[in-house]
Amino acid sequence: MNQFIDITLDLLNGFSYTLTIFFVTLLLALPLGLIIAFGSMAKFKPLSALTRGIVWIIRGTPLMLQLLVVFYGPGLIMGQILMTEPTAVYLTFTINYACYFSEIYRGGIESISRGQYEAGKVLGMTKSEIFFKVILLQVVKRIIPPMSNEVITLVKDTSLARVIGYYELIYFAQRYQKNAGLLWPLFYTAIYYLVFTALLTFLFRWLEKKLDYFKA
Amino acid sequence: MNMLEIKNLRKRFGNTEVLKGVNLSLEKGEVLSIIGSSGGGKTTLLRCLNFLETADSGEIIVGGKSVYCATEGEKPVVTPEAQLSFGLVFQQFNLFPQYSVIDNLMLAPKLRAKRMSKSGKHESQEEILARAEELLTTVGLRDKRDNYPCELSGGQQQRVAIARALMLSPEILCFDEPTSALDPELTGEVLRVIRSLKDSERTMIIVTHEMEFARHVSDKVIFITDGVIAEAGTPEEIFEHPKTKKLQAFLSHTKNDQDFT
């Protein structure tokens, strides 16, 4: 029993690393994704082509490979590792998720009718006023379901951090397998993921309900 | 003095010339109806006046002041004052769905007051609210002030849209087929509101397919086809004594349609 409690607490410590990766990524990738979305919708063709090219590369290769390239790549070229494991993890996850988010944003923004922009314009509103006061909330309402998918995927993708030797929940659990021959802690980690994704599911449901007062 | 003067307005989309030099003048308090078949250029003319499209060349003068003057290959920047000389009521209402009726009315004036607060004189929040409530009363929707657009009928939404446009006190209020998206039994309430605005001496331009309404509410009617004003005159001249073959054909078509309904 004591062992069970000890391992539960130790895994909780491991899960705090998972949560840190999750929240740092979300905090940085949500705004960055919006910037990338604007880039890919830019009227200036070279910019939109470049942005779409980057999004293609990021979405077209495995996140695991991207982690390895970001962490070990500079070492191969310049002979030394440039950043610590957590930096490489945050950087890679942020860019990767921002690219996915950008496509969700773009879909949401382009689905808003032109009439909403035109109504704002004839009422003398500026472009940024129209975007932030009229368009954005309608976009948010529409992208909640695809966003919740992506965010839940992020929870589980954090486990990829261990390919460059950074800590997260599964890394902690596997130590018991290697050091003590215990397999159950590894299976036990599923509970942590399930509880957390359940919380996220409730949060997104609540948000959806909250925005249910209007139709867009 | 003319409230509005349009001089030789031209607009092309790619290779298609949609407006081929439109000239027009309107006095204060006059109501102008624009009729014509689809694709003739009437909506484009209205959109050019509201700067949703920028005319390629020509001049727009409001109250003796030139607000837009373009020559071939050179388009001026539209100033906020020029933009606000005109108001527009859309066919599809285009209310902001996430705001209540009263907030739909107040959003743009509040943002405008905030922008102007840097330069001194601006309307206070209380003044904006008072004006919004007054306008809602005018369109008969005072009791819907806290409802959301999705809770209103099409006719009610369009009346809110009219009140919202009036909040910015445009010199000239434009309507782009204001009843085309409405069920037939809802057009009456919207047309009544427009008629009441005429009584308050408001200068208006209405693109419409409602011939009976155009005949009764307008001081002037123009018939636009192929990007030009083919005929202009009083409602009586246009509807009773059409001169051109095209207008005669157009009117007989719409008459036939009305016989069906």
* Residue-wise DSSP of B181-204: TS-HHHHHHHHHHHHHHHHTT-EE
Owner of token pair 């998918």: A149
CA distance A99 to chain B (A): 28
Looking at residues B21-31, what average pLDDT do you find?
A: 91
CB contact under 8 A, B111 and A122: no
Nearest to B47 by CA among A114, A122, A131: A122
Q: Which residue has the higher pLDDT, B77 or A18?
A: A18
Letter for the amino acid at A66? Q
Chain B hits for A113, CB-CB cut-off 8 Å, are 92, 94
CA distance A17 to chain B (A): 38
Q: How far apart are CA A13 and CA A35, in angstroms?
A: 34
Q: Is the pLDDT of residue B261 over 50?
A: no
For the stretch A131-170, pLDDT in tens is 999 999 999 999 999 999 999 999 999 999 999 989 999 9
Q: Is the pLDDT of residue A201 over 90?
A: yes
- The answer to whether B204 and B194 have CB atoms below 8 angstroms apart is yes
pLDDT of residue B81: 87
Confidence at B121, pLDDT banded by 50, 70, 90:
confident
At B230, is the secondary structure helix, strand, or coil?
strand
State both tokens at B152: 């209103």
Asked if B223 has any chain A CB less than 8 Å from its own CB, the reply is: no
CB contact under 8 A, B107 and A133: yes
> What does the domain layout of chain A look like in residue ranges?
2-210
Looking at residues A164-180, what average pLDDT do you find?
A: 91
Looking at residues A6-10, what average pLDDT do you find?
A: 91
pLDDT of residue B257: 60
- What number is the ipTM of this complex? 0.91
How many residue pairs from chains A and B have C-beta atoms closer than 8 A?
63
**φ/ψ (deg, to 5) at B50:** -95, 5
Looking at residues B81-86, what average pLDDT do you find?
A: 91
Asked if B96 has any chain A CB less than 8 Å from its own CB, the reply is: yes
Q: How far apart are CA B43 and CA B207, in angstroms?
A: 7
Instruction: Tell me which of B111, B157, B176 to substitute to probe the interface with A (most A C-beta atoms closer than 10 Å).
Output: B111
CB contact under 8 A, A134 and B92: no
- H/E stretch holding A66 reads helix A63-78
pLDDT of residue B219: 92
CB contact under 8 A, B52 and A216: no
Q: Is the pLDDT of residue A52 over 90?
A: yes
CA distance A114 to chain B (A): 9
pLDDT of residue A114: 94
At B220, is the secondary structure helix, strand, or coil?
strand
CB contact under 8 A, B164 and A122: no
Residue in chain B closest to A116 (alpha carbons) equals B94
From the list B84, B94, B148, the residue facing A119 with the nearest CB is: B94
At B232, is the secondary structure helix, strand, or coil?
strand
pTM: 0.87
Looking at residues A54-76, what average pLDDT do you find?
A: 93
What are B68's strand-pairing partners? B60
What are B12's strand-pairing partners? B17
- Listed in sequence order, the residues at least 6 apart from B23 whose beta carbon sits closer than 8 Å to its beta carbon are B6, B7, B8, B9, B229
- Cβ burial, residue A146 (10 Å; 0-12/13-18/19+): middle
CB contact under 8 A, B83 and A216: no
Q: How far apart are CA A44 and CA A53, in angstroms?
A: 15
Residue in chain A closest to B50 (alpha carbons) equals A122
Instruction: Tell me which of A114, A122, A138, A212 to substitute to probe the interface with B (most B C-beta atoms closer than 10 Å).
Output: A122
Chain B hits for A124, CB-CB cut-off 8 Å, are 80, 83-84, 108, 112, 168
Return the CATH number of B2-96+171-260, one of 2.60.40.10, 3.40.50.2300, 3.40.50.261, 3.40.50.300: 3.40.50.300
**How many Cβ atoms sit within 10 Å of the Cβ of residue B55?**
25
Q: How far apart are CA B103 and CA B82, in angstroms?
A: 24
Residue in chain B closest to A128 (alpha carbons) equals B111
- The answer to whether A160 and A63 have CB atoms below 8 angstroms apart is yes
CB contact under 8 A, A118 and B97: no
Chain A hits for B97, CB-CB cut-off 8 Å, are 138, 214-216
From the list B87, B92, B112, the residue facing A122 with the nearest CB is: B87
Asked if B184 has any chain A CB less than 8 Å from its own CB, the reply is: no
Average pLDDT over chain B, rounded to an integer: 90
State both tokens at B116: 């102007």
CB contact under 8 A, B90 and A133: no
For the domain made up of A2-210, give the CATH fold: MetI-like fold (1.10.3720)
Average pLDDT over chain A, rounded to an integer: 94
pLDDT of residue B198: 86
Largest Cα–Cα separation, chain A:
71
Q: Interface of chain A against chain B, CB under 8 Å?
A: 113, 115-116, 118-126, 129, 133-134, 137-138, 141, 213-216
CA distance B16 to chain A (A): 22
Which residues in chain B (134-153) have CB-CB distances under 8 A to chain A? 148-150
Q: Is the pLDDT of residue B34 over 90?
A: yes
pLDDT of residue B170: 93
Nearest to B175 by CA among B42, B80, B59: B42
CB contact under 8 A, A115 and B168: no
pLDDT of residue A65: 96
